[in-house]
Structure formats: structure tokens, C-alpha cells
Chains A and B, each alone.
Chain A
């Protein structure tokens, strides 16, 4: 009885997503003999740790009603700067990592300033940021730089054993810690509540006296920081820096957030949902690779179809309708200004 109180338009997408994950994982376990194991599940986290971190940053941006298209490029730039400093300048890992994290945060902050102070569209500013970061990668080098530094290879190989057979990587642990911090930030701090308020209605938030400007800039700073941290995880995972790393990761991050139940119009969603979103993207990849006959481009199509279904579902919740026909009955009504739905 009490549980039914918790099912509403805010939590339903998250419940649907979690169920979908269970169904997909269950399907894999039935279809492929070796699929159902703790290690396959943990590998989902290990192989997608960087996406998880990037998606967490993206979730905050989307919750505030914005969008950040630069995340993939910042990941690539981070790997490039790291590889170049470690390999060519022989910097120590302890000075490189804080530097690249700071750089990512500063990059995000600059975009936040452009968006808030000059009232520019988040979409176009972060598009510019995407070009800039990718371009800067190529200024450093056009080729891939392999990382051979001992500290990096050690972190990359390190396995934390959970029981006899099952292990987890440092990347996955960092992703889980980031998730815990992000949940705390979103649910239990003034900053988090302000983000939800801005996403709900920026004007109301302003009138309530909330620090809208400061929070907007902080949200993009956080996203830049998460992208840089994602980039650090990519250097651990791939042991290289390359301008073509994380191509299109912004799309995966947005898809993970949307599938995880965050409304694209802002104000509604949970950071934890994005983890489930990332796991679903991961399980689709695993299913396709376990199958062996399906080509990898089916992943893109599957992600597109899922994204579409979840967006349509969001529209239904926004309209407050319950049937699919309500969606297209909407045709007769006047077109609303783009952006906010209500």
C-alpha cells in the first residue's frame, strides 16, 4: 500500500528503466549460458565507468534545464593533455591529475559564464566548446599517444577482489564514489535543491531569491569536472591519449540520463537513474557481443530506439495523458514556444 504512494510521474520512468534492465539482463541469462554471473554484471560497471561519471555531470546540467554537448570532447582533451604531459614532459601522476581536473572544471565554468552572463543558448555555447576542445586535442598531436608510465599501467591493471572469482577495477570504484557524492549533492544540499528549482522554472527560482546565476555556472563547472574525471578514467582504461577518444560520448551521456528518467525539460529526475541508464547501454552492448552474429552498429540503432521510446514516454507524462492516442491528439492544439513545455 505504501509503495503505491511512491509511484508517480517522477519515479515511474526510473521504475520502468530498472525493470527494463532486469528484463534485458534476464533475457541475456536465458539466451547465453555464461551471461548470468556476478562478473558479467560488474564488467558492465568496469567497462562503462567513464560513461557513468560523464553521465552524472550531464544529469545535473539536464536537471537545471540545460544541455552540455562538449563532454565527449573534454574527455578527449583530458586524455590528450594527460598523455602528452606524462609521456613527453615526464610529469608525475600526482601533479597531472589535479591539473587536468582543474582544467576541465575551468573549461566548464567558462561555458557557464557565457551561458548565464551573456544569456546565450546552452546548446550553441557547448557546441562551440565541443569544437574548441576537439580542436585543441589536434593542436597537441594528431596521432594517438600511448601511456607507458608505470603508475598508470599499475592502476590500469589493479584488481580489487570481491570473493574468489569476482573482481572490480579502480575505475568502477571511482565511478561509484562519484555517484555517492553526486546523490548527496543533488538530494541533500542547497546547491542540489537550487538546480531542481532552476530546472522547474528559472524565473520562479530567480524571484524566490535563489542564486540562479551562481548555480547555473556551477552546474557547467561540475559537468566540466565530471568530463575531465571521465577522461582520467579513460586514460586508465585505454592507456592512451587520442583526439578521437570518446567520439559521440555526449550522445551516450544524454541517452543514459534520459533513459534513467531525467526529464529533458529539466527539474525532474534522479542522479541514480543515470547509473541505471548507463547499465542499460552496457547490457545492450554485452548482449550484442555475446550474440556474435549481430554487428556492433545495432548498438547505435538500439540506443536510438530506446531514446525515442523514453522521450515519447516523457511527453506522455508531461501532458498528463495516459494513452498513446493522447500524444497525437495534441496535433490540433497550438504549438508552444520551444524549450519549456509547461
Chain B
């Protein structure tokens, strides 16, 4: 067999190669059904088109997936992010609330609490959720899935408590900018994603933090012996993950202009875990890729978009996602690779 040129082989080995190929293929599927898929117009000063729509809708998932990547890299899992989104969304919606009043003949929007204060409160509550998870996992040494299960069970109850069982609607116009606004023609939510991404890349590549997280994921005991404070690191990773969920909650709440304790962020944890695995980060911990998780989130959102454009009921999306989960797991499975490797090797010899 002829060897491929080195640059091509290097490209195929790049961790982002397969997620990238998947995304391109999905886009091609979309183009097949909708010729104007890549068309971007400028309507009333905003960029407008399917691609922008997918990016905008994927923003909350991208944020949560970024936080989840770090948790998974330390061999953990956080299944409470959906509940955290519900709590955080409930806090910001009930604090802002808002109403339209006429003051001296001018219509003005008034919020119950100043908006920056409400946003800080919502993020603080999300952080608190993360600190709680971190305390259970790193402090009490519980299995991550069980520790975060507790908040997942209780979280939606807490969110209902905050909203008093109602769907809280927000009437305060400036708040809608976060999820629906545009800046220089690009959705505001994408700036938020870019900001969080920049901070994370800076911390991971410019400091030793990324290396520490990887080493804790690969071998916690060895990491501890090399002087890394594994417990503190794991603790703060959970806190950070919940914080990204809090930011996602702001975008989601602002986008739908209301907070629903039952349905906000429902199954978001599963999508986030799926995005992370699609991006090539192994659930066994260790090596991780933030950019991969972003690609994974975009794959999920593009898939959803494709299913919508096929005209199939969106609920059937779950079947497709399930098949994707099984497929990705099997590709990552060492046992399957060993089996296939043996088989391919034999046929190779015969030929």
C-alpha cells in the first residue's frame, strides 16, 4: 500500500480531524436538503442565515460543553448542569421580572433589581451549585455521577421553589440582548462564548493548569505525588463547570424571555456529555480538547437542524442521538479496536 504524504497523515491524526469531517459531512447533508444552507444575508444590519442560526442556538451548549470537558478530563462527570441552568435561570428571571411603565409620557422598562446585580446573583448561585458538587466529589470522595445526581434530583425542586411553580416571564427589554441581541452584526451570545473560550485557552495553554488537569485525569495518585493539589483542582473544576452552566442559563433565559423550572436545560447534561465525547475527549479522562467540544456542540446543533429540515418530528432526534452515542462509544472502544485490528491485520497478511 502506498504511503500517504506525511502532511495528509498528520492531518488525519490530528485530534480534530474526525469531528471536523463529521461536521462537514453534516453540513453537506444540510446543503443537499436546503440549497441556501450556507447563504448569509444582511437583514436590518444583522447577519442572517442558517449557519448563524445554528451558531447562535449552539451557544449555551458550547458553554456547558467547555466546562464539562474539564470535568471529564479529571475522570469526573457532572450530570447536574441541566438543574443548575434551571436554578440559575429561575434566579435571574425572578430578580429581573420587569414591567413596562409610562413615566412622564415616555415608555420605560423597569426591572425589580438592577440587571447587573441580578446577573451577578444568578452566576453566584450557579457557582454555589458547583462548589457543592466539588465539595461532595473532592471533599467527601463520592463518585462524581452520584454526587452530581443529588443536585440533579433536588435542583429542579429548588428551581420550582424559586419560581413558586410558575413560569416566570421577563418583561425587561435590555435583558433580551444577551440571547437575542446583535453586536456588529454578530449574535451577542457568540461574543460570550468567544470570551469564555479565550479565558480558558489562556489559562490552559499559557499556564500549567491544562497540564495539571490532564495529569490528574491520567493518574490521580501520580499527580498527587508530583505535588499537584489534585483535590483542590477537582473542586474548582466542578465550580467552573457550574459557572459555565450559569452563563448558559443567562443566554437561555434571555432567549426564551422566561424561566421554566421544569424544562429549562432539560437533558442539557446529556447533550454536553455527547458533545465532549464527539469532540474526541475520552470519558476515561486525561487528554482533552476544548476546540473538539466546540465542534461536538456544533455537530449536535447541525444534526438537530438537519432533522428539522427533513420534516421529521423533532422528538425523533433522540433516536438519532442515541445511535450517535453508541457509534462514538464503539469507535472509542479499545476492545473493538483490538478485535478489528486483529481482523484487518490478518486480511492484510493474506493480501
Contact = CB atoms under 8 A, between A and B. Distances in A.
A120 B154 CA distance: 29
Given A118-B333, A118-B336, A119-B333, A331 B138 contact: yes
A123 B77 contact: yes
Contacts of A299: 157
9 contacts: A114-B330, A123-B145, A124-B277, A297-B161, A298-B157, A301-B157, A303-B154, A312-B140, A335-B230
B156 A297 contact: yes
Contact of B220 (A121, A142, A335): A335
B273 interface: yes
Contacts of B316: 135, 138-139
Contacts of B145: 67, 123
Interface of A (DSSP majority class): helix
B318 interface: yes
Contacts of B77: 123
Contact of B313 (A67, A138, A337): A138
Contact of B225 (A295, A330, A334, A336): A334
Nearest to A299: B157
Contacts of A136: 319
Given A129-B322, A138-B313, 15 more contacts: A123-B77, A124-B329, A131-B319, A131-B322, A132-B323, A135-B320, A254-B149, A298-B161, A300-B160, A303-B154, A304-B154, A304-B157, A311-B136, A315-B140, A341-B141
A125 B329 contact: yes
Interface of B (DSSP majority class): helix
Interface string A248-275: 0001001100100000110000000000
A331 B231 contact: yes
Q: Which of B144, B153, B231, B320 has the most CB of A within 10 A?
A: B153
Contacts of A134: 318
B143 A124 contact: no
B326 interface: yes
Contacts of A265: 143
Contacts of B224: 334-335
Contacts of B115: none
Contacts of B330: 114, 118, 120
B315 A243 contact: yes
Contact of A120 (B75, B216, B329): B329
B154 A301 contact: yes
Interface in A285-342: 295, 297-301, 303-305, 307-308, 311-312, 315, 319, 327-328, 330-331, 334-339, 341
Contacts of B197: none
A132 B335 contact: no
B152 interface: yes
B147 interface: yes
A127 B153 contact: no
B149 A127 contact: no
A128 B156 contact: no
A131 B141 contact: no
A135 B321 contact: yes
B142 A127 contact: no
B283 interface: yes
B270 to A, nearest CB: 6
A117 interface: yes
A135 B141 contact: no
Interface residue tally on B, bucketed by range = 35 or more
A327 B220 contact: no
Interface string B304-347: 00000000010111111111011001100111100000000000
A251 B153 CA distance: 7
B146 interface: yes
Contact of B138 (A251, A264, A307, A335): A335
A120 B333 contact: yes
Given A135-B316, A337-B75, A114 B153 contact: no
Q: Which of B143, B144, B156 has the most CB of A within 10 A?
A: B143
A-B residue pairs, 10 tightest by C-beta: A304-B154, A300-B157, A135-B318, A135-B319, A132-B322, A138-B315, A131-B322, A128-B325, A297-B160, A334-B224
B319 A335 contact: no
Contact of A335 (B136, B154, B231, B283): B231
Contacts of A312: 140, 142
A127 B325 contact: yes
Q: Which of A118, A131, A334, A335 has the most CB of B within 10 A?
A: A335
Contact of A131 (B140, B277, B318): B318
Interface in B124-157: 136, 138-147, 149-157
A99 B270 CA distance: 30
Nearest to A312: B140
Given A114-B326, A124-B325, A311-B142, A305 B154 contact: yes
Contacts of A142: 313, 315
B284 to A, nearest CB: 8
B179 interface: no
B55 to A, nearest CB: 24
B193 interface: no
B329 to A, nearest CB: 5
Contacts of B116: none
A300 B153 CA distance: 6
B234 interface: yes
Contacts of A328: 139-140
A138 B141 contact: no
A298 B161 CA distance: 8
Given A118-B330, A297-B165, A255 B153 contact: yes
